[in-house]
Structures are given as C-alpha cells and as structure tokens.
C-alpha cells in the first residue's frame, strides 16, 4: 500500500501544499491516487487532536511554542492568518476512511517545551472517542503509530492497527509476539536483508518510510513492505504499476 507522507509530501522540495493540510491530503488521494495518507497528530492543552508535524510552532507575535501549551481557540485565531489552516483530526478522519483509503496516524507524544510526555491516557481517550463510530471495514484501514509503546498499549486492539515505530527490529518482534502491536514502522535507511528475514520469520507486517528518490523507491520495494510511506507518490505508483 502506498501512503503519502503528510499528504503529498513532508519534504519541502516535493510538497505542493503545506504538510497535513486539507489541500495536501486531497491532492494525494485524488490527483495522485494514493492508497492512503500518513498524518501527524498532536494534542492541545484542552485535548483537541490536531494535524501538525513539527515539534514547535511560531505564532503571529513571534512566540515559539508547542501545541500542548496552546488551546484550540489559540489555534483557531492563528488559523485566521493562514491560507491552509491547521486541521482538527475529527474534521478529516471520517471522510478519508469513507473513501476507502488508509489513514495512518503518527502520534506525537512529547512536549518539547516542557521536556516531558503529554498525558498519554487523555490522548488515547480522545482517539477512541474520535473513532468510536467507524465500522469494522474502516477500522481495518486505520493505523495508530507511535515510538512510545506505552501509548500503543492504551489503544484497544479492536480500534485499528497498532503500529510501533523503531529501528530495533528484535524489540518490535518481541512486542509483536507479546500481542502489544500489529505493525512495525521503520525507516528505509539502515534496513537490510537480515532484518527482512527476521521480520518474515516472525510474520510481522511492516512499513518503510523516509522514501523520496527513485533509487529509494526501488530499494524499498525490494524488501516487499506492507506499506510504503513516500514523499514521491507518482514515482512510487509508477514503479509498482
């Protein structure tokens, strides 16, 4: 499955629109016919899940802060100055799933302004509320990814696919065999045939990311991942076709 990275692309040289924006999501799914999109999820101070990648955001007054320090009202005010406003997850999630597309959510769990984790239990509860009404077919296309296994532990198995992001392959296999996750997400750089063999022996589904160039697309395809998170959807689609 081919997933657009933050919509069309996260990398500035390939992004047609801002990452995680409505325009980028729609272009990836409609114009480029991606099988789904990977989106970055952060939580505000008042527990609203929003789509944004970077750890920090610079406000109109020049203040550099983090989403966990802001309320949704702060973001709505900030959005009045943007051509492509920051989205709340609930405003786009159902539409993506109803189009029979995959929705891969990269859950950001760390508040860099406070040097601590956000409230993981609250984030998990907000995710459960957001997706409580989706049907079983849609849940089969819903992926929750995090580098924090404790956040993944809080997401019910029946809500969707639980993905753990790491380059420590044996650790992922151990978690998979313990029933704590369903999918490994790891970057292409450093991945090798030994990792592939170990993953296949464990019957562990996996996704690869950090893929931009045609050479990287071809290299990733050689490992036969279940999901490819790419910054170059057209070239990826052309290669697989």
- Tens digit of pLDDT for each residue in 52-106? 999 899 887 778 899 999 999 999 999 999 999 999 999 999 999 999 999 999 9
Domains: count for the chain: 1
Q: What per-residue confidence (pLDDT) applies to 63?
A: 81
The contacts found for 198-205 with CB under 8 angstroms, 24 or more apart, are: 198/169, 198/170, 198/173, 199/169, 199/173, 202/173, 202/176, 202/177, 204/172, 204/173, 204/176
- DSSP 8-state symbol, 68: G
Candidates 6, 12, 51, 10; CA nearest to 29 is 6
Question: Locate tokens 């459960």: which residue?
Answer: 128
Strand 161-165 versus strand 142-146 pairing type: parallel
The CATH number of the domain holding residue 133 is 3.20.20.190
Give residue 61's pLDDT. Answer: 75
Predicted confidence (pLDDT) per residue in 111-144, tens digit: 999 999 999 999 999 999 999 999 999 999 999 9
Range of the domain at 43: 2-240
Mean pLDDT across the stretch 177-191?
98
Q: Which residue has the tokens 């992922």?
A: 172
CA distance linking residue 47 with residue 108, whole number of Å: 13
């Amino acid at each position: 499955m081919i997933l657009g990275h933050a919509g069309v692309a996260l990398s500035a040289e390939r992004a047609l629109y801002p990452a995680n924006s409505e325009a980028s999501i729609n272009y990836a799914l409609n114009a480029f016919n991606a099988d789904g999109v990977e989106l970055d999820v952060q939580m505000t101070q008042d527990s609203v899940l929003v789509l944004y990648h970077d750890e920090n955001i610079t406000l109109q007054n020049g203040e550099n802060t983090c989403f966990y320090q802001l309320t949704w009202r702060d973001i709505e005010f900030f959005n009045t100055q943007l051509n492509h406003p920051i989205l709340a997850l609930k405003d786009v999630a159902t539409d993506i799933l109803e189009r029979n597309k995959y929705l891969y959510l990269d859950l950001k769990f760390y508040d860099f302004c406070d040097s601590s984790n956000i409230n993981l239990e609250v984030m998990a509860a907000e995710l459960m509320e957001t997706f409580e009404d989706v049907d079983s077919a849609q849940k089969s296309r819903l992926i929750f990814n995090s580098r924090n296994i404790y956040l993944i532990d809080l997401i019910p198995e029946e809500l969707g696919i639980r993905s753990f992001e790491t380059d420590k392959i044996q650790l992922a296999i151990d978690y998979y065999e313990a029933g704590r996750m369903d999918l490994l997400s790891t970057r292409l750089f450093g991945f090798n045939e030994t990792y592939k063999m170990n993953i296949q022996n464990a019957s562990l589904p996996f996704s690869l990311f950090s893929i931009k160039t045609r050479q990287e697309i071809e290299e990733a395809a050689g490992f036969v991942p279940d999901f490819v998170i790419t910054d170059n959807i057209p070239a990826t689609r052309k290669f697989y076709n």
